Structure 1
């Protein structure tokens, strides 16, 4: 992993717990595995953001390697086919990282239906109370319709956190049927129906070839006037130009934490539009939330050392439809 990630993920108490399980040098961070002299003896790799690719050349220099514990979300950036061919056991902290993303998303949904950003901006401008119900007829969360796109780890957590609220929940996912959706507290519908019926559409699909620009100009046009699009998944799910055109028109609202490109050009209208909340990819684990990822990874190391299977094992077959 990158050294800065090591320092953020493993404070002294984390190192104390880790060194009680394994033989590891707390001062050593392997940022370049091609130049790593100790690979031949390594049985377990603890990885995170910034991990080099674990390809055939690296694995050939690591004959004792049996497992990878990833202290972050997706393993697609570094765990290659060669790892699966070797039969390595792989674990990920994606479930831990899903929690703050879901929390951010739920806050965005509830604020969107309550029109908190609009009312806050108007109140700041006018500095006097107005008849908010008249200004925003029907605003609020009671019996509003929220559409979740993708029953991913984050999508499922969002549905779980939304269940206590008096909302009508829809789910679109080609890998989930009506019975499975009902068990998650939602009604299964096709994507176009979900987009057209929802007051808020929240994206939680993986970035795959078939999901690129899932929300294109045609599908964005299906959104109700005044509806909100929330994207905390991947920027590639949304056609940026089409979203910008819809947002500039003022017809829809958007809460966007990820974009394509990842940093928009300085001239993009999305930075300054009053109906858009644009944040710089902060929904995932940051600050104190990293401790949850650390604890998840340490739990997996403990399980490995005691001969138990990983609780959050990653399976090669599942990667085709996951992040």
Structure 2
């Protein structure tokens, strides 16, 4: 992992907890592919603890670690470093994606609630006029009661969102080709196809993985299906949305957006999305940051302890599941 991530994720108390179960040199950090070559003794390594910045675990790296049996990832997606060679070796892989999903869902829920309440626009008008206006006249029908919310992708974050939304007076729809309709209803949502969801929802929240088949999932045609005044929330992947098509809709004023991820990331300095009053841009902050990182640490430590006790991982990653997930 990157050294700065080691410092943030594994403070002394966490290292001490690790050391109760495994032999570890807390100063030994591999943050580039050449790092494996600079370590004299890798032959006995049985377990890797990884995080953001881990170099690919390709065939060459694995050849240096003939005893390696498992990888515990103290972050979300393992796609950046777990290669086909890892699956061919039969490595067990765990991820803290479930822990990282919590703050993303919290951010997204706040975005949904603020979007329906028109907090961004009202805050701007209040700042500009510095007096109370007739907000209902400016935003007829605004508020959160009986609004229709659409979740695109029953990923870990999508499922966490469905759980959180059940506490509110919302009608919730979900679109995911891999989700069984009966399970969708168990999660508290009505399953529909994506086009229907876009046409019916006041807020559409994206939680699909970045895959070839989801590239520009929301293109010109699909964005045009969204209701006038609807809000698009993207805390998933920037590539899910055609940025040019979305920019055109937002510049017209027909739609609103809360975007924590974009394509490209970061947007060019001259992008109109920075200045549009119906857009909230944040710099990929929905995931775990600051004190939230310790939730990921706790998840990874628990997985190490489970491994050392001869138990199955609580959050395993499989080769098959990875092909349709983030």
What is the TM-score normalised by the length of structure 1?
A: 0.99
Partner of residue 187 from structure 1, selected from 173, 187, 190: 190
CA distance in 2, matches of 1:244, 1:135: 23
Distance 1:34 1:221, change over 3 A: farther
Does the alignment pair 1:276 with 2:279?
yes
CA RMSD of aligned residues (A): 0.7
The residue that corresponds to 2:7 in the other structure is: 7
Name the counterpart of 1:142.
Answer: 145
Query: Where in structure 1 do 4 or more consecutive aligned residues deviate above 6 Å?
Result: none
Q: Secondary structure at the match of 2:291?
A: helix
CA distance in 1, matches of 2:256, 2:297: 35
Identify the residue that residue 244 of structure 1 maps to in structure 2: 247
Q: How many residues align?
A: 323
Deviations 1:168-212 (A, max 9, x none): 000000011321110110000010000010000000000000000
Map of 1:26 onto structure 2: 26
Structure 2 residue aligned with 1:288: 291
Provide the residue aligned with 2:130 in structure 1. Answer: 127
1:135 Cα offset (Å): 1.4
Partner SS, residue 169 of structure 1: strand
Give 1:41 shift: 1.4
- Shift in Å, 1:131: 1.3
Equivalent-residue separation in structure 1 for 2:108 and 2:39 (angstroms): 40
Report if the CA contact (8 A) 1:101-1:285 is conserved. yes
Residues 1:260 and 2:263 aligned together:
yes
Counterpart Cα distance in 1 of 2:28 and 2:103: 29
Q: In structure 1, list runs of 5 or more residues that go unmatched.
A: none
SS at 1:294 equivalent:
helix
Map residues 1-323 of structure 1 onto 2, 5 A cutoff.
1-31=1-31, 32-323=35-326
CA deviation after TM superposition for structure 1 residue 37, in Å:
2.3
Deviations 1:219-270, CA, capped at 9 Å, x for gaps:
0011111100000000000001001111111110000000111111100001
Separation in 2, partners of 1:17, 1:230: 38
Deviation at 1:17, TM superposition (A): 0.6
Determine helix, strand or coil for the equivalent of 1:296.
helix
CA deviation profile, 1:121-155 (whole Å, cap 9, x unmatched) = 11111111111112111000000000000000000
TM-score, structure 2 as length reference: 0.98
